[in-house]
Amino acid sequence: MAYLSLAPREDRFVVPPGTARMVAYVAILLAAILGITTQVLHISFASPPKPALGTLSYHYQRGYYLDHGWLCYGWSSGAFHCTAHWHYAGNTAVSDNVGWVPRQAGLPAAPAGSLGKGPATMPATQVAYSTAGQPCKSATMFVPNISQWTVPPSCYANVYTPNPANYVYRSGFGWCNWWPEVLHPAQPDILWGSRYHRSGVPTPGAAVAFAGGVQGADLVGHFAQVVGVAPGGSWVLVSEMNFLWRGAGFGKVNYRYIHVGPGVTFITA
């Protein structure tokens, strides 16, 4: 006679052979994928390296763009400004010279002293300068809130008539080229010689060449001499001859502020 067994059955979950090894492989694979993804995200959000500063090509684009290491901004009017003073915030190029190239909307304000406007005081120890051959030799060169036509302080506010007998002989006294030429007595070809370094970075004692119409130059251009460079490197005190401003002009030397930008080339021996 057959009986119906009511005894409880013992059900067991049996892991197929090799399953534990497969789970371990999958865990290792997921960890590797997670690590690679983390590295990719880190690379994606890291700031790219800032390109080396080169010579501007002076081309216009609307909005923000880079021109051989310079950050530029083009307005709808066709005007554009470029600065060498900028940094990356993520993948965004951010101006540190907002008095010349504005910052994008929504970005933090530039730190004090980086706006192309000097700090409250500018001790001589913070200013790079060279007064060799200059009629004014004061160490007080820069004032707060510099603009294009701010009158420099101390004796730099004066206009001078230099005596050619006090300088090396160069032809053309009175014209703008005469002044930087006599301030470089060992380099008579400083303004046109191909052996000299030309860049957009100012250094004390460098000659300056302005393209026509740039920062007060006439249509054929203009020459000057760097006297001092303000902290940050955006604003520069220059001396010049034959520049019609504040009673200066032919045969006279005056001082004024210029800023780094398109059409301004610094020539060093």
- pLDDT at position 62, please? 86
Helix (H) or strand (E) holding 29: helix 19-45
> pTM of the predicted model, to two decimals?
0.58
- Give the pLDDT score at 125: 45
Length of the chain: 269
Rounded CA-CA distance 243/28 in Å is: 74
Residues 6+ apart with CB under 8 A from 191: 177, 180, 181, 207, 209, 223, 267
Domains and CATH numbers, the chain: 124-268 (3.90.1720.10)
Distance CA 167, CA 254 (A): 17
For 137-143, which contacts have Cβ atoms below 8 Å and span 24 or more sequence positions? 141/227, 141/228, 141/230, 141/237, 142/118, 142/228, 142/230, 142/235, 142/237, 143/118
Q: How far apart are CA 20 and CA 114, in angstroms?
A: 62
Q: Compute the distance between CA of residue 204 and CA of residue 127 in angstroms, rounded to an integer.
A: 10
pLDDT confidence tier of residue 98, bands split at 50, 70 and 90 = confident
User: What is the structure's pLDDT at 67?
Assistant: 85
CB-CB contact of 99 with 109 (8 Å): no
- Percent of the chain having pLDDT more than 70? 71
What's the confidence (pLDDT) of residue 146?
86
Give the CA dihedral 90, 101, 58, 151, nearest 10 degrees.
Answer: -150
Query: Phi, psi at residue 205, to the nearest 5°?
Result: 85, 0
CB-CB neighbours of 255 under 10 Å: 30
Question: Tell me: the pLDDT tens digits for 251-262?
Answer: 999 999 999 999
Most confident of 39-48, 227-236, 243-252: 243-252
| 236 HSE (CA, 13 A, CB side) | 27
Considering only residues 36 and 214, tell me which one the structure prediction assigns the higher pLDDT. 214
What number is the average pLDDT over the span 23-46? Answer: 56
Q: Mean pLDDT lowest for which of 4-8, 31-35, 190-194, 265-269?
A: 4-8
- Predicted confidence at residue 163, as pLDDT, reads 97
- Quick: pLDDT tens for 128-187: 899 999 999 999 999 888 888 899 999 999 999 999 999 999 999 999 999 999 999 999
User: pLDDT at residue 45 above 70?
Assistant: no
